[in-house]
Amino acid sequence: MTDRVAEPTPALFQSERQRQIVALTIEQSRAEVSELADRFQVTTETIRRDLSDLQAQRVLRRVHGGAVPWETARFEPLLSVRSDLHDNEKSRLAAVAVSELPDRGSIIIDSGSTLTTFARSVPADTDLRVVTNSLTVAQVLAEHESLDVLVLGGKVRKNTLAMVDAEAVAAVGPLQVDTLFISSDAATPKTGLTTPYREEAALKRAMISAARRVVALVDHTKFGTDQFVRFAEWSDVDVLITNAELDPTIVAAIETTGTTVRLA
């Protein structure tokens, strides 16, 4: 069992219990009804109702005896769930990424739990203009008096609290910024950076075109598979920040493309 999810109590609210069920299932790849019932000190019928609710939300998929993550191109985990996963790894990436901030000028910060963690690490006295498509990133950085925060328009994706539609792409088009901080759902040395979502890929490509320098924050767990749409080759990325746990052969392969790899 993971030690990153708080131990439950009998008085746990249903919403919190379900959130922890999702986090456990994603981290362990599968959760058993009986084990969940023991862990949360509720009946198996209660757990089955929870799993049915979560399946209806397209968060988990029920299977015989338990549940597995809903891993299809149609699903993206709730930001609140993804923020709980690999917290230590994301914090390490963020600490390194802070040193890539320009001294002045403008930046774009992409959406996602990794970049929300990065936003929380931006020093309070940073004096930059920041563009983001993430409501959570904007909320974090709006507390910095010295930052000028601009949010891209468009429809809010409820799971991620980000704008990734055509309106957001159009808003990025005229921009020219010093540095882009971007994340990815998946990465391989051969293909580059990929995502399951076509709209998101279009926005990420627009962001890359708008930036003089691109810094990608991709934790080591994202490497090894390709998703549906490629939005960047390694030649598009100036700096990759990833965890020291990444296979050294993958690091070497990426460095041959000219991308600088920084390990956290």
- In this predicted structure, what is the pLDDT of residue 78? 52
Give percent of the chain with pLDDT exceeding 70.
89
Q: What's the average model confidence in pLDDT over 69-98?
A: 67
Instruction: Sort strands 260-263 and 239-242 into parallel, antiparallel or unpaired.
Output: parallel
Instruction: Give the best-scoring range by mean pLDDT among 10-14, 23-27, 190-194.
Output: 190-194
pLDDT at 97 over 80: yes
Annotate the chain with DSSP letters as a single string: --SSSPPP-TT--HHHHHHHHHHHHHHHS-EEHHHHHHHHTS-HHHHHHHHHHHHHTTSEEEETTEEEE--STT----HHHHTTTTHHHHHHHHHHHGGGS-SSSEEEE--SHHHHHHHHHS-TT---EEEESBHHHHHHHTT-TT-EEEE--SPEETTTTEE-SHHHHHHHTT--EEEEEE--SEEETTTEEEES-HHHHHHHHHHHHHEEEEEEE--GGGBT---SEEEE-GGG-SEEEE-TTS-HHHHHHHHTTT-EEEE-
Distance CA 119, CA 108 (A): 11
Q: What pLDDT score was predicted for residue 8?
A: 44
pLDDT at 5 over 70: no
Burial of 91 (0-12, 13-18, 19+ CB in 10 A): middle
pLDDT band at 74 (very low <50, low <70, confident <90, very high): very low
The per-residue pLDDT for 26 is 79
| Local confidence band at 54 (pLDDT 50, 70, 90 cut-offs) | confident
Confidence (pLDDT) at 86: 56
Check pLDDT > 70 for residue 1: no
Q: Residue 6: what pLDDT?
A: 45
pLDDT of residue 87: 74
End-to-end CA distance of the chain: 25
pLDDT per position as a tens digit, 202-245: 999 999 999 999 999 999 989 988 888 999 999 999 999 999 99
Q: Going from the N-terminus, what domains does the chain have, and what CATH number goes with each?
A: 14-71 (1.10.10.10), 81-263 (3.40.50.1360)
Average pLDDT over residues 129-137: 97
- C-alpha dihedral, 147 to 207 to 114 to 185, nearest 10°: 170
Q: What is the mean pLDDT of the chain?
A: 87
